[in-house]
Amino acid sequence: MSLIKSNENCIDNYLQMNIIFEEKVTEDIREKYILLELDTFSPEPNVFKKCWALIGKDEVNVQEVHNMDQFTDLHHNMIKNYGLKNWKFCHDALDHLIGKFRGELDSFYRIMRERVEQLEKINLPDTWSPVVITYGNKEKPNEMANDTSNNNNQ
């Protein structure tokens, strides 16, 4: 199984988040883990790769087991509303999600909070997309990231 671990130098290094790309998700993984969508990346034009956080179903905190479906739904709806530019919903959801899932996604939730705080100050076009573009001009790698005409989140 191909998993990406969070950076060892991360402040939350004791709370490792397991991440998997969508094409690596098998039925066995779906049975053993709760899958929570994180970001969708575009490594090249018209190619999209979703990545998911994996939370072991047998590792769920006893106090949270009764609310796990509610937290999972809230996470899903936060990701959906992020794409819809519903920043208020994202803020409210993040307030409730931080500390859930044993804190394994807290670094992701802090990043999402920063993104939302930055994006809500911008008048984004209707064509804006939450897809993270990871390709660009190889001679000028930052050109795509700074180009507002592509209307994508960077």
Query: Residue 61: its pLDDT value, please?
Result: 65
pTM: 0.76
Tell me the pLDDT tens digit for each residue of 110-137: 999 999 999 999 999 999 999 999 988 5
Query: Is residue 13 helix, strand or coil?
Result: coil
With b meaning 16 or more CB within 10 Å and e meaning fewer, what string describes 42-70? beeeeeebbbbbbbeeeebeeeeeeebee
Pairing relationship of beta strands 132-133 and 18-21 according to DSSP bridges? unpaired
The answer to whether 98 and 90 are in contact (CB under 8 A) is no
- Per-residue confidence at 28, pLDDT binned at 50, 70, 90? very high
Pairing relationship of beta strands 47-56 and 18-21 according to DSSP bridges? antiparallel
Averaged pLDDT for residues 49-53: 95
Averaged pLDDT for residues 69-88: 96
The answer to whether 42 and 134 are in contact (CB under 8 A) is yes
Give me the percent of the chain exceeding a pLDDT of 70.
75
Query: Residue 59: its pLDDT value, please?
Result: 74
